[in-house]
Structure 1
Amino acid sequence: MTKKLFYLLVFFFSIPTINFAQQSGDSIQKTKITIPEIEKVYLHTDNDYYSIGESLWYKAYSVYAYTNQLFDHSKILYVELVSPESKIISCNITNLEGGLGHGDFILADSLGVKPGTYQLRAYTNWMRNYGDDFIFKKEIRIISPNKDNTILYQENDNTKTIAKNKKDNSKVEDPAAILIDFFPEGGSLLEEVISNVAFKATDSYGNPMEIKGTIYDTTDKPITLFKSIHDGMGKFILQPGKDQKYYAKVTTANNEELKINLPEVQKTGYTLSINSIDQKKVVTIKTNAATLNQNPDADLTLICTTRGITYFEGTQPLKDPKLSFILPEENFPEGIAQVTLYDKLSRPQSERLVYIEKNNDITVSLSTDKKQYIPKEKVNLNLSAKDKQGNPLIANFSIAATDTNGINENFDNTLDICSYFLMASDIRGKVHKPNYYFNHSNPARLFHLDLLLLTQGWRDFVWKKFPNLHKSQNFKVEKGISITGKVENLIGTTAKENNQVQMILLNNKATAMLNDTTDVNGKFEFNNIVFKGTATMLLNTKNQKGKNRGEFVLDSIYNLPMTVDFKAFKPLNEEENQITQLETNIRNKNILFNIPEENQLKDVIITAKKKKDDTPESRYGFADFTYIPEEKGPRFSNIFMLLQMTIPNVTATVNSVRFNRYNGPPVILVDGIETDMDLLSSISIDDIAKIEAIKGPGAAIFGSQGANGAIIIYTKMGKGSTTSKKVFHSIAMPVNGYQNTRFFYSPDYSKPNPLEKDKADIRNTLYWNPYIQPDEKGSATISYYNNEVDTTVNIDLEGITNNGIPIVVKSSYQIKK
């Protein structure tokens, strides 16, 4: 049952009241149950700029799009690094657990990394059902202070000046390359109805441009002046007359003039406006006499939603040209609300976006034990996270401490978890200086945020397709890594039904064995597998009689990446100047410490030592015996004599090979492929690189096939058998799992390390921790050591509470000798 809520406005002038019925809590809850399971993801990175050779560290937060609560839905997150040339140069398969994950990229020359603006992109397979709407994108800058810098960005060879409006797409071309859009509040201009008209001006790279101008009517009479007031945006009031058309004469900062037509004026219809009065949001519906005459007492429905959930809805007959009411903000969560007006035929007539800000009554703070430290001194950082009653917050955070390198960073320019989940993710296109609108030190931020919503607010965003989103779910939720395929007959493509398929995964001395039976279509599936790094996959199939029969046809483990649409636009002069200054400061820091780049203490990457020879690594764990042929060792006439003479307790003839302790033959693999006697006899002993014998419990990794032991033969360069005969019922191949994530290295100067004694510590990222949770008292303590540079260190904490409130806290301190 719905409840009637009445909102009476009393101002110095009379405003007619409107009665709307708010949707009940039960009804809203029912809506939540039936809505699609949409994910959003955000990446917190340790920095926004990096030198070539450094590591980029990230923490992933995957949330339920409607509530911003952590969402344990997809388990695989694809994180890609996109170059200025719009090429994916690296991709991480990041494991998500409980909506959280982390990973890193090493920005090495081997990736083809050059100075320039790159894009960090993240998405799940499930997100692909909704196009580009929920794909996370963030720009990062890569510099090379010790080398000649040619900054890369994507130029548009066909760039022209385009100035147009949203309705009639009128265009004016000019060498200044300026795009100017006009947006009537609510969507349309209406004859004899006063409306706000917002506008936005950008250059061809999407950067804001300041403009001013005059509006003229059909008779070339000047009507009103306008001027941008924030990032190329502004607004003016216009009351269109009957049978009038309007145009703007615009003057740019370069004193160039443009003439642009405004959207056409409608003769009938409805407009929707929202104004802030006494800290309340007043919604006003307006129309003209012509509309009232055509539709007297027309029933209008107002639906107010946030992220696809309806929080206010009602129907009211319109008897007068103007009706107003106060939007019940207390019923809405924080974020962008979409207010849509429908006629009696459920056709949308007008729409307005408005930001609802909330006081969450929580306190999250960071404090260091000092405000100034000496180089390499230990820092003790204390975190406190509590609600207004003093109870500890249940939340998950990530934290980074970075050297500013002499640059006073403007945090308004960056993107954080608050500005992304609450605003930027619900607006199409790049938002210039997204954090400006959430910085409480900016007194006009909410007014300017309203301008952003009037101009850059979405039109056909995915929420407007709701509730039909479930009809286009072609991409599955990935709960783990899946290895699938089918088994066919060798002749033709007839499916092999009821074939036994065994899969063995060998990874870091760990083994997983899985079995499946093919269905009527020959299909087999191994789903929700979890492994990190590269593993060796062994597949074997047998028919119902236990004979090796059939041919594998494997599916791709991962889908092809999404289409890249990144253009690394040229930054503004102030941003370019900051990067130039940053490069200079880092270069001077290197000179000050009198060290070449290779002796800087940056990230410590532990890798295995490269073998001096070409002996292949073991794929199957520890062998009971290993034989490696020597260049001047004994010569054997064939493979069977070699096995007989070199492998202890093995009897080998042309017809059979077996361990003396067993009655049956062992499983024999050549470069991972199960081999019979005919194939074995065709191997040249000169091609053998290594032989391993497993006759104890270790042979259990081969299942029942290993009951009589195993002999594994590796050939030089993986040549395998020289015969033309091919094995189809077995496959051995490397497969990639989740990224084998590294731990962030932070030196401990209380324990001197001789290996680092001669290396200068000029790390840009001093500390990174992707998983920090307050204890039962709402506290956490973090310790790390400073670098040895006189500098300012910024501390950046981001995270989210269990009820979906994004948190950002920033702090800083000094390092001084």
Structure 2
Amino acid sequence: MKLKRSLFLFCAITLIGVLAFTSRDEDPVEKLVTALQKWTDTNPQEKIYLHTDKPYYIVGDTIWFKTYVTIGSKNQLSALSGAVYVDLINEGDSVAQSLKLPLTAGMAKGNIVLSDTVLPEGNYRLRAYTQWMRNAGSDYFYDRTFSIGNSVANAVFAKIDYIYTQDGTSTKVKALLKYTNQKGEPYVDKPIRYELRKSYKLLATGGGNTNELGEISVNIPDSKPGDVLNSYLLTKIAIAKDANIVKSFPIKTASLKTDVQFFPEGGSLVNGVRSRIGFKATGTNGLGVPVKGVVIDSEDKEVAELESKHLGMGYFQLTPEQGKTYQAKITYTDGSVNILKLPDAVNDGYVLSVYNNPETDTILVRVNANGSTLKKEGQAVSLVAQCGGTVQYAASIVINKAATSIPISAKDFPSGILQISLFSEEGSPLNERVVFLQRNDLMDLKINSSKKEYGVREKVEMEIDAKDASGKPLVGDFSVSVINETIVPSDETTESTIISQLLLSSDIRGYIEKPNYYFYKPTDETKANLDILMLTQGYRRFVWKDLISGKQVPPIYRAEKLVTDITGKLATLGNKPVAGGKVTLMNNKLGLILDTVSDNNGLFKFSNLLITEGIDFMLQGRTLKNGKRLELQLDKVTQHEPTSNVNIGDINTNIPAVLKASIENNIEQDMDLQKHGKTGRVQQLREVQVSASKKWGFGNHINENQADEVFKPDSRRPCATLKECLEEMDKTRVSFTLNKGGLWQLKGNYVTLIDDVLIEPEDYQELLLSDVSDIRKIYFSYQSRVMSARLLASYMARFDPKDPPSVMAIYTKSGNFRKKYDPSVVYYTPKGFSAVKEFYAPKYDNPAASNPLTDLRSTIYWNPATVTDQEGKVKLTYFNSDNKGTYRVTVEGINADGLLGRQVYRYTVN
């Protein structure tokens, strides 16, 4: 890589006699730059952002979103991946819905319907990734927590609070649950049963009755803080006979006490050198909490004061002395005091301090050393500053005085995180500091409408104007959302935006509270607080010592393209390759038959297949002489397993209160629909037992929360056979016994359904003793006559309706259970591209044909494919709804050069 000679020249002139450069062949800086360049070339980093139409939703809504996938330090739209996965993950860290979308020029549009036959009220996550991103790990996925409330199907409103008490040195946690109806009246003396769960694990069970306030308390069992993190309470409240309402509560406990951490600037404290020490105080709910205190040395002398400045974060200065240790005496808002030890100082080393001056486009780097370090005369160190894997500055420096200052011109640096690292002469990393650069290199977006005040159902004409910082028009691709902010109020600082996600969150460690605070109205104060954030949360993309060592881990996952290859191997039953074997791929519905031949290693491939959702295949293998005593081994592209929620601070513990305006609006809308003889926006089934009038689809005879027990395969809990998986479920009643015929069958009065077909034990032995790769889900009904009757559907005539049997309902992924196993035949349902709906917005051009129904939409307009012309402009038209209030227009997008843009515009509807 060619280094930026202008930067070297600048520093050489500024610091004559300080900077010493050697030949490129011997220069340790060049070795560092080469190592970074090699990593960047072989590990191009993709990032993802999802622009959604709203910050939260109600059951029955549709999530409309656009996916932006960028690559490299310039945030250009990625051409590497042709497919993106978007998962909707529930509070139990299970994937509730999953989409695979085609990426065109790094962008995709999609939608998720939030039907209450699948989704109850609760906290959910949108997670997005490409197969290529899996090589770097799930820490780099897009992962956002949001709330889904319920309106017409909600007979019970519930909230959770926490009570913390001190018992000696340990903290006791009690969850206080409160249940009310829609009017806020408490459910008094109602039986409650609860389960404390963490993903697939059952941690505790219990029950009781609500008091006169509709409350019941649950003791969270003593455990390490990490044990209850990401757990949830699943409760059933019996509000009437045969009316059990299921409610789920997240256990929002990041720790059992306020956690305070200290971060010396640059990495280490050095005796005799004054240092800035950042600190961060995180409460039990995962959010920053204000603290203050003093620092005392080992002689009980007060040497510094500290007080948080922003979201529990702040910094103080300290000059440690050799032979002394230091403690911080922290005072919390409740008056309690805690004493915490500061990191120990070292006798020999450097302190790396960085001062970002946006007004002069200069970054001042200061390398401080103590007397012990300076005794080693003529020490040469290397300084490297990089952004997104691209080196912005690199130099060798000779340290021969206590403070060496290096001013770096940041005029040509891009916006984003700049990682500044100091290395020894041998190339070992010594210190590191990250700073955030907010440059004038974002889009200048303007939104204009013909007026600022409109009437209901009035046509709105709007123009978007996109320019760069110099005023040059830009051709860009944008997504546009218009919502009624009166119905969907939110705190704009807490939102994830295209700027906060791609420039900040995707590159920094840990949870970031209020990420848009630093960008939506930047001031000197927000910039100073952003620098404090940089002090406390470091860069996470790579570790320098791994790069320097030259370790190159080959990628496990290949980047997917728009078209798919189906590959595999033909082998004998003894697992030896079958060369020249014939492989046939078939889809009867499409009339598709393709043939290929295996190579000398038994490998085969079907190339360039465009696969959509619901397409399945049968693959058949035969030997050269048409024999079928062989095994067809298929390479399957798996989806990423569910991950735990790291955004504990974003979990909403009182959804009905926070989403009150949206819930009330939806209730009003459904009442209007009923007044006109219509059903709701979706056929919503109430939480109490109400029979559905329409026929249920395959695998959906009951809601998941209506089953007594549910099994779904989980890669985090592997088991050898389906039988083993079922018997190892927590607190399960499922067990098998050998009957007189030597067949495994369920103990008790059970019948088995497989893909809605009644199957006898002799016909499902092969499935029971095989792995769970073809299992989608299994429902168990033990006691409820209604649930058993629903599962059995047309078979109920065979049983006593007053006493139907218990049911095990197995649903396979293929939906086509086979009685006999043939290893030469494989049924394969790959994850195909999901169908995407178009957003519908009514038109009110013709008053005579006006819709009599009240239009109470909260999302007024959604357009994920808005493209500006050569003049940087595009015009949009749509109609307001019947709701008055403040309407918020949000435009986000990107151009071919990777310039990001976001703008929010508001107008009033009277």
Q: Which bracket does the TM-score occupy, shorter chain normalised?
A: 0.7 to 0.9
Matches within 5 A, 1:460-471: 461=542, 465-466=546-547, 468=550, 470-471=552-553
| The one of 562, 567, 571 aligned to 2:641 | 562
Q: Distance in 2 between matches of 1:529 and 1:792?
A: 48
Q: Distance in 1 between matches of 2:423 and 2:439?
A: 28
Q: Secondary structure at the match of 1:330?
A: coil
Q: Secondary structure at the match of 1:418?
A: helix
Report what 1:149 is aligned to.
Answer: 157
Matched AA of 1:77: V
Q: Distance in 2 between matches of 1:447 and 1:9?
A: 30
Residues 528-565 of structure 1: per-residue CA shift (max 9 Å, x gap): 421222124243445546x4745552425331423411
Pick closer, same or farther for the CA change 1:778–1:568 going to 2, 3 Å. Answer: closer
Matched AA of 2:636: I
Pick closer, same or farther for the CA change 1:465–1:417 going to 2, 3 Å. Answer: farther
Shift of 1:250: 0.4
CA contact (8 A) 1:210 1:232 kept: yes
Report what 2:275 is aligned to.
Answer: 195
Q: Secondary structure at the match of 2:672?
A: coil
Report what 1:793 is aligned to.
Answer: 887
CA contact (8 A) 1:118 1:139 kept: yes
Do residues 814 (structure 1) and 908 (structure 2) align? yes
- Which 5+ residue runs of structure 1 have no aligned equivalent? 163-172, 615-716
| The one of 462, 475, 498 aligned to 2:557 | 475
Shift of 1:470: 4.2
Q: Secondary structure at the match of 1:84?
A: coil
Shift of 1:244: 1.1
Do residues 393 (structure 1) and 474 (structure 2) align? yes
Report what 2:96 is aligned to.
Answer: 89
CA contact (8 A) 2:286 2:649 kept: no
Matches within 5 A, 1:218-297: 218-276=298-356, 279=360, 280-293=362-375, 295-297=376-378
Report what 2:401 is aligned to.
Answer: 320
Q: Secondary structure at the match of 1:436?
A: helix
Matched AA of 2:71: Y
Report what 2:854 is aligned to.
Answer: 760
Matches within 5 A, 1:84-123: 84-111=91-118, 113-123=119-129
| The one of 295, 309, 312 aligned to 1:215 | 295
Residues 743-773 of structure 1: per-residue CA shift (max 9 Å, x gap): 112222236898x945332112111111111
Report what 1:750 is aligned to.
Answer: 845
Matches within 5 A, 1:604-619: none
Pick closer, same or farther for the CA change 1:187–1:43 going to 2, 3 Å. Answer: same
Q: Distance in 2 between matches of 1:55 and 1:407?
A: 14
| The one of 567, 579, 604 aligned to 1:484 | 567
Q: Secondary structure at the match of 1:400?
A: strand
Do residues 137 (structure 1) and 146 (structure 2) align? no
Shift of 1:369: 2.3
Pick closer, same or farther for the CA change 1:733–1:245 going to 2, 3 Å. Answer: closer
Pick closer, same or farther for the CA change 1:217–1:494 going to 2, 3 Å. Answer: closer
CA contact (8 A) 1:398 1:769 kept: yes
Residues 318-370 of structure 1: per-residue CA shift (max 9 Å, x gap): 11011102122124221111111111121211111111221127422112223
Matches within 5 A, 1:346-361: 346-360=427-441
Q: Distance in 2 between matches of 1:326 and 1:364?
A: 33
| The one of 70, 81, 84 aligned to 1:74 | 81
| The one of 2, 5, 9 aligned to 1:5 | 9
CA contact (8 A) 1:762 1:789 kept: yes
CA RMSD of aligned residues (A): 3.7
Shift of 1:578: 8.7
Residues 181-216 of structure 1: per-residue CA shift (max 9 Å, x gap): 011111111111111111110112320110000000
Matched AA of 1:501: V
Q: Distance in 1 between matches of 2:679 and 2:532?
A: 47
Report what 2:503 is aligned to.
Answer: 422
Matches within 5 A, 1:726-745: 734-745=829-840
Report what 1:674 is aligned to.
Answer: none
Shift of 1:71: 0.9
How many correspondences in the alignment?
685
Pick closer, same or farther for the CA change 1:725–1:445 going to 2, 3 Å. Answer: closer
Pick closer, same or farther for the CA change 1:441–1:64 going to 2, 3 Å. Answer: closer
CA contact (8 A) 1:61 1:101 kept: yes
Q: Distance in 2 between matches of 1:120 and 1:612?
A: 27
Q: Secondary structure at the match of 1:558?
A: coil
Do residues 19 (structure 1) and 19 (structure 2) align? yes
Residues 274-328 of structure 1: per-residue CA shift (max 9 Å, x gap): 12456432110000011111x1110111011111221111111111011102122
CA contact (8 A) 2:268 2:346 kept: yes
Pick closer, same or farther for the CA change 1:340–1:729 going to 2, 3 Å. Answer: closer
Q: Distance in 1 between matches of 2:822 and 2:586?
A: 17
Matched AA of 2:73: Y
Matched AA of 1:271: V
Report what 2:424 is aligned to.
Answer: 343
Matched AA of 1:149: F
Q: Distance in 2 between matches of 1:589 and 1:378?
A: 23
Report what 2:58 is aligned to.
Answer: 51
Do residues 583 (structure 1) and 660 (structure 2) align? yes
Pick closer, same or farther for the CA change 1:261–1:209 going to 2, 3 Å. Answer: same
Matched AA of 1:553: L
Q: Distance in 2 between matches of 1:274 and 1:719?
A: 63
Report what 2:868 is aligned to.
Answer: 774
Pick closer, same or farther for the CA change 1:20–1:35 going to 2, 3 Å. Answer: farther
Q: Distance in 1 between matches of 2:695 and 2:649?
A: 45
TM score, norm. by length of structure 1: 0.76
Q: Distance in 1 between matches of 2:667 and 2:567?
A: 52
Pick closer, same or farther for the CA change 1:354–1:361 going to 2, 3 Å. Answer: closer
Q: Distance in 1 between matches of 2:507 and 2:292?
A: 29
Pick closer, same or farther for the CA change 1:811–1:465 going to 2, 3 Å. Answer: farther
Structure of higher CA gyration radius: 1
Report what 1:805 is aligned to.
Answer: 899
TM score, norm. by length of structure 2: 0.69
Matched AA of 1:19: L
CA contact (8 A) 1:160 1:174 kept: no
Q: Distance in 2 between matches of 1:405 and 1:511?
A: 53
Report what 2:672 is aligned to.
Answer: 595
Report what 1:436 is aligned to.
Answer: 517
Pick closer, same or farther for the CA change 1:186–1:733 going to 2, 3 Å. Answer: closer
CA contact (8 A) 2:505 2:512 kept: yes
Q: Secondary structure at the match of 1:375?
A: coil
Q: Secondary structure at the match of 1:110?
A: coil
Matched AA of 1:766: I
Q: Distance in 2 between matches of 1:296 and 1:536?
A: 71
CA contact (8 A) 1:133 1:461 kept: no
Shift of 1:742: 1.2
Shift of 1:409: 2.8
CA contact (8 A) 1:31 1:309 kept: no
Matches within 5 A, 1:459-538: 461=542, 465-466=546-547, 468=550, 470-479=552-561, 480-489=563-572, 492-505=574-587, 513-538=593-618
| The one of 438, 445, 455 aligned to 1:374 | 455
Q: Distance in 2 between matches of 1:183 and 1:47?
A: 36
Shift of 1:493: 4.1
CA contact (8 A) 2:462 2:875 kept: yes
Shift of 1:36: 2.1
Do residues 445 (structure 1) and 526 (structure 2) align? yes
Shift of 1:566: 1.5
Q: Distance in 1 between matches of 2:464 and 2:480?
A: 10
Residues 465-499 of structure 1: per-residue CA shift (max 9 Å, x gap): 4475742411122223332233345x654443212
> How many percent of aligned residue pairs carry the same amino acid?
27
CA contact (8 A) 1:218 1:245 kept: yes
